[in-house]
Amino acid sequence: MQESFKPYVPADKVTPEMTPTSIIMGLLLAVIFGAANAYLGLRVGMTVSASIPAAVISMAVIRVIMKKDSILESNMVQTIGSAGESLAAGAIFTMPALFLWAKEGVMDKPSLITITVIALFGGLLGVFFMVPLRNALIVEEHGVLPYPEGTACAEVLLAGENGGSSASAVFMGMGIAALIKFIVDGIKVLPGAVSVKLSALKTEFSAEVYPALVSVGYICGAKISAYMFAGGLIGWFVLIPAIVTFGGDIVLYPASVSVAELYAAGGAAAIWSNYIKYIGAGAVAAAGIISLIKTLPLIVKTFVEAVKGIKSKAANRDVRTATDLDIRIVLGAILALILLIWLVPSVPVTLLGAVIIVIFGFFFSAVSSRMVGLVGSSNNPVSGMTIATLLIATIMLKIAGDNGAHGMQGAIAIGSIICIAACMAGDTSQDLKTGYILGATPKKQQIGEILGTIVAAFAIGGVMILLNEAYQFGSEVLPAPQASMMKMIIEGVMNGNLPWGLIFIGAFIAIAVEVLGISSLPVAIGLYLPLELSSTIMLGGLIRKFVDKKRGESKDAAGKGILFSSGLIAGEGIAGIILAILAVLGVGDKIDLSGSLNLGMFGGLAVLAFVVVMIGIYAVKRDNEKKQ
């Protein structure tokens, strides 16, 4: 394919790529989008791609403000910037379990060094694993593997003359979301959620008013949002009423009081926290494993082709657009990282654990790279890969006698490194696809990914510690759904104290959904999360459906609705980080006006309606501009 494909910038033309401007901007965006995605993922268990917003912002600065015509420089910005989002996704899906164990007194809180080192090792492994895979997956499979986000990002950069107007949607979203977040959670004059108690059904209906949740629904679309909402309905309008109705005075494990007493004291939320979250965890675990099993033929094919790709040599290694990092340096770096994983005291991994990381790390990095090429990063079954890794690693560690707190730490460290590596491999492959289309130098992009990984790894540790100090992982504000589930899986294997009956109920719900021909993972996530999250996400999905119907199902992934929604997510995440800093410094209480002024439920609904209208306006506006 390489001979027939001609990139936008020819191989014999040298233009600026890795410049001080692109490096500084890229590293800044890596920290910003990494922090924003960490906050979003800990709230709703989902993250969004930062490549397109980063590309738009880079164009606004480089092309519009600095008046430079350098598409490869803008591409380098998004390459470095997107590394923060992917590393954050892998980290927040696993490592908050360490904080949850510390809260229970099982072990000490993880240090900044521990978090940073684990994130750094996983991120670098993901980038290095992808280097020998580039030729097999990006070049040889061009036209076969579409890499949706990578291709869309290239299209955005190619449409550079519209960069300024597109960037305005991102910045507008950031400003609006930050303002709303400050009003709701800063000065606290508006409620963060509205709830209606339904006594006849022994449950309640609730929805949050935060713009990021509407944005998640808009970006995911109506179908995925509906699946999540369906899971929420099963939990809150089927299972909770059934447990309260039939439970009565019975004491059901793991609660220590009767169902009736539990409901009287805490309402439907108490039933959810004691029972439904375990059912949801079982559903998510089963759905993740099902997604992995469904892709097994593809996984085997990918792995075989990846090994062949390492042996194959491109015909023109001296060509700029075919130059990768020296394979000797890559293999040496991988070997050094594995030795460091084993030897560094702050990473509680034995030699057996290091071997597991080598095998599963490369295997799942290869799979992740091919999967995002087919279905995009949002549908990549990383959670299923991580669950499978955790189960195998925990069982092997227990058999080897490494159990208790140290074994649990080791299992989560292994899972974290592999999860981060898989996420980073997927992101790197998307970025390399963008570069392949544009005519970037692969070696420079790979160096850019390494720089973004290093800075993001140092930032994510501080962000996680800050968020935990301000809000507490496992709380209503930051439930950390994936990490809580990983924690329960490890405890279940090590201690055998999980309510397995509830876990298997959730597992069979996921299986039943799959039998109906519906993807069970989003349904399972909706079952696991509080209804107030999935109901607001559903609203965003409905808006997307309305807008798509109006404009005829546009395939342009860079529409202003998407960009505006990405800005809303980034703005709320950044505001959440700032408010967390204020809370830790003791300033949060001083700006709290909830005691003197509170606009109540209707004010909150007005804010939500405002956000909804703004998303719709920008999405439709984009379509109107195209027609003019």
pLDDT score of 603 more than 80:
no
The better pLDDT of the pair 77, 220 is held by 77
Does residue 565 contact residue 220 with C-beta atoms inside 8 Å?
A: no
pLDDT band at 390 (very low <50, low <70, confident <90, very high): confident
pLDDT (average), residues 195-206? 90
The better pLDDT of the pair 296, 164 is held by 296
pLDDT score of 302 more than 60:
no
pLDDT score of 261 more than 60:
yes
Q: What is the pLDDT of residues 2-33, one digit of tens each?
A: 456 788 888 888 888 999 999 999 999 999 88
pLDDT at 341: 92
pLDDT at 8: 86
Q: And the tokens for 246?
A: 């039939």
CA angle 82–11–425, rounded 5-degree value: 30
| SS3 track for 519-549 | CHHHHHHHHHCCHHHHHHHHHHHHHHHHHHH
Q: What is the pLDDT of residues 330-382, one digit of tens each?
A: 889 999 999 999 999 888 888 888 888 888 888 778 777 776 776 556 556 57
pLDDT at 558: 40
pLDDT at 2: 44
pLDDT score of 163 more than 60:
no
pLDDT band at 219 (very low <50, low <70, confident <90, very high): confident
* Mean pLDDT score of the chain: 81
pLDDT at 133: 80
Q: What is the DSSP string of 539-600?
A: HHHHHHHHHHHHHT----TT-HHHHHHHHHHHHHHHHHHHHHHHHHTT-GGGG--TTT---H
Q: What is the pLDDT of residues 518-544, one digit of tens each?
A: 988 789 888 887 888 889 889 888 888
Q: Distance of CA 419 to CAs 59, 81, 111, 141, 520, Å?
A: 31, 19, 20, 25, 21
pLDDT at 171: 76
pLDDT (average), residues 421-442? 91
Does residue 571 contact residue 181 with C-beta atoms inside 8 Å?
A: yes
pLDDT score of 244 more than 90:
yes
pLDDT score of 324 more than 70:
yes
Around 311, how many Cα atoms within 13 Å sit in the side-chain half-sphere? 5
Q: What's 108's DSSP letter? A: P
Q: What is the pLDDT of residues 31-47, one digit of tens each?
A: 988 888 888 788 766 67
pLDDT score of 117 more than 90:
yes
The better pLDDT of the pair 201, 366 is held by 201
pLDDT at 96: 93
pLDDT (average), residues 388-410? 83
pLDDT at 306: 55
% of the chain surpassing 90 pLDDT:
23
Q: How far apart are CA 242 and CA 513, in angstroms?
A: 19
pLDDT at 289: 77
Tokens 């519209």 locate to: 162
Q: What is the pLDDT of residues 572-599, one digit of tens each?
A: 777 877 877 777 677 877 787 776 665 6
pLDDT at 374: 64
pLDDT band at 605 (very low <50, low <70, confident <90, very high): low
Q: What is the pLDDT of residues 54-77, one digit of tens each?
A: 777 887 788 767 777 788 998 999
pLDDT at 258: 92
Q: Which of 576, 575, 568 is nearest to 617 (CA)?
A: 568
pLDDT (average), residues 183-200? 83
DSSP-assigned beta bridge partners for residue 257: none
The better pLDDT of the pair 177, 67 is held by 177
Around 230, how many Cα atoms within 13 Å sit in the side-chain half-sphere? 16
Q: What is the DSSP string of 426-443?
A: HHHHHHHHHHHHHT--HH
pLDDT score of 624 more than 80:
no
pLDDT at 376: 59
The better pLDDT of the pair 389, 108 is held by 108
pLDDT at 199: 87
